[in-house]
Amino acid sequence: MKRILLALLINLLSVNLVLAASPADQAKAMVEEAVAFFNANGKQKTLTEISTPKGKWVKGELYVFAYDLNGVVVAHPINPKLIGKNLIDVPDAAGKTFRKDIAEVARTKGTGWVDYKYKNPSTNKIEDKSTFLMKAGDVIICCGTYK
């Protein structure tokens, strides 16, 4: 009985820590979880799960999405019309081709953050955004958050 209560307490504390984490910490944790899923279940199952509109990696304004190494969207839970489109040369609101930076970071470092300016659908304003990314095989798994 004590073990069950201890396990329940640890679980509740873990949930509270995740809820209290900053959006950047949450984005990073979601990408790390998706990469672990990729490593355990393979590419196709992961891309299918990422593209699920109310899937495990859609949490409020945060959601995981994925590119291939050439900037083609290979999974997106919010806008499935983007899947299959090469966005490598599409700039942000300030003219920065940030997806080139995402691909470069993935190729050279395997993981990191890329900053850019993007229209926030919640506020309808151009805002600073930062995306955390990790390379998994030939896929770049990402999650962005507005600052």
Residue 32 resides in a domain: yes
Q: Is residue 53 part of a domain?
A: yes
* Residue 1 within a domain: no
Alpha-carbon distance 88 to 34, whole Å?
22
pLDDT band of residue 121 (cuts 50, 70, 90) is confident
Q: Domain tally for the chain?
A: 1
For 124, the domain range is: 22-146
Report yes or no on 42 lying in a domain: yes
Q: What is the pLDDT of residues 35-64, one digit of tens each?
A: 999 999 999 999 999 999 999 999 999 999
**Residue among 88, 87, 90, 66 nearest 76 (CA):** 66
**Alpha helix ranges (H) inside the chain:** 2-20, 23-41, 43-50, 98-108
Q: What is the pLDDT of residue 14?
A: 42
Confirm whether pTM is higher than 0.95: no
Structural domain contains residue 5: no
pLDDT at residue 20 in the model: 64
Residue 13 lies in a domain: no
Residue 77's CATH number: 3.30.450.20
